[in-house]
Structure 1
């Protein structure tokens, strides 16, 4: 008999997790910036507004006694329907990548010079996802050629200017701007937030593609291969190989997505090797030769070495 993915509770749901999962390791990742605007962490729990269809539910996520996740529904007028409970459960499973069997990744990591100790240090960490395609693409575009701290600042300005929010205990919890809202803007309107003219254009053009139904998650997942999905993304102005692979790993969940030109990845490898210089692309290809098909997880774990 199959183990249920989640169970109803009087105040929410219990989301069941695989053996290779550590809530604390994922919480540490979510805590990496004090400027994160899409959630709040207090007393070892995550507070977040989750949009499921047309509904928005405020949740508290923490560990339960069995090692799973206790998801408590905090405020929602009209109660929580069975369908909404299921939608929230699947959102959280996707967000924490809970349906991924990581045993083969850890087996691969054991014999890899860069990954063996890294995988032990962060055991149970999952690639924390960005389930919404528009949010994932925006975060990829926002982060291009700037440091992480400034990327978080730009995201906060963007979300607070054009997103929606719900109040819980007097504090706003934000929902990412809809593509329809951003599609109606001009590049000039984003300029006061600190975006360059080109980034503004990229964000608006992508929003229009998604709002018009020309780009969606299902279409990319049906592409037939990761290379074809990458080609579809890189055909869009403002999305290069790095941004495409970032979206492929964080939103579309391709474990072999590989942002090989990522500066953070290069710096992590440099630090682990004790080298005075970052690896060349060819050197990184050689170092990663045995990572397949886990390049995305290898990258995510190596990022955690630095941040």
Structure 2
């Protein structure tokens, strides 16, 4: 059943009760170095490559029950097929079709998660719908701090991506696998990226261009553990990167990047510890999170921003 309606140049998306636009804006605003969208006066502006077009949209919330998607510039003449695809993209981006009632019921009585869901109620896992972008972001973020990861992403996007100009602002589009697959490693190293990361990104791009890896393949597997095994067979993708991608792109609620330093620091912060908890302790703390590990992780991460 379609969960949006069209009113002239605006798509009106219905929202679940457990959604707070302001909380999601706060999360999206965590880095001033983000290059794939702009936020101004609680409105999100983003160019989305879809169906051979690149519509430019504004996403806003005028009441607690709806999101409004407004098409800007030449995007106003976009076909109904593209407009519907954009509506689906935004619903996936904000994970709007997930019922969080059972997550909140569990989390409210969990010692670690209780304060998180109280502080950030209505936050959704902001997704990365494009598999190549999700994999690249996971690889770029390996063993570096978040600030430098954003710097690398900006360099990568501005060198190899394309852009749309509107009202004096540039809206960047993430490079496609075809943009990267044939590049020499030195091209990526010139961005101050390690040789290994450069090789990993080119290798993933080549797999996707050759049809050996796609989002549909991972979705069709239909099983979190099998999808994880498929991803970790790829050079440069370990359990952390695989679970990050399964969480942010494939939307498996059981995805659990348990070795994530941010998760460890968030738990350390919540427990008032001087040292990060070991993996076996995190497993014990997470005993009640079954099938909601991804949301538990995302909410604990939120304490760090």
Counterpart in the other structure of 2:188: 190
Change (3 A) 1:5 1:275: same
List gaps (5 residues or longer) in structure 1: none
The answer as to whether partners of 2:9 and 2:76 remain within 8 angstroms in 1 is no
Change (3 A) 1:108 1:76: same
2:88 to 87, 90, 105: 90
Counterpart in the other structure of 1:293: 291
The answer as to whether partners of 2:55 and 2:75 remain within 8 angstroms in 1 is no
1:275 to 273, 276, 293: 273
Counterpart in the other structure of 1:108: 106
2:61 to 63, 69, 75: 63
Counterpart in the other structure of 2:4: 6
- Give the structure-1-normalised TM-score: 0.98
List gaps (5 residues or longer) in structure 2: none
Counterpart in the other structure of 1:204: 202
Residue correspondence of structure 1 range 137-216 to structure 2 within 5 A: 137-216=135-214
1:47 to 40, 45, 48: 45
RMSD: 1.0
The answer as to whether partners of 2:180 and 2:205 remain within 8 angstroms in 1 is yes
Q: Counterparts of 2:296 and 2:18 in 1: how far apart (Å)? A: 15
Residue correspondence of structure 1 range 215-254 to structure 2 within 5 A: 215-254=213-252
Q: Counterparts of 2:109 and 2:76 in 1: how far apart (Å)? A: 53
Structure 1, residues 37-86: CA drift from partner, whole Å, max 9, x if none? Answer: 00000011000001112111011111023531111100226712111111
Q: Counterparts of 2:40 and 2:283 in 1: how far apart (Å)? A: 40
Number of residue equivalences: 305
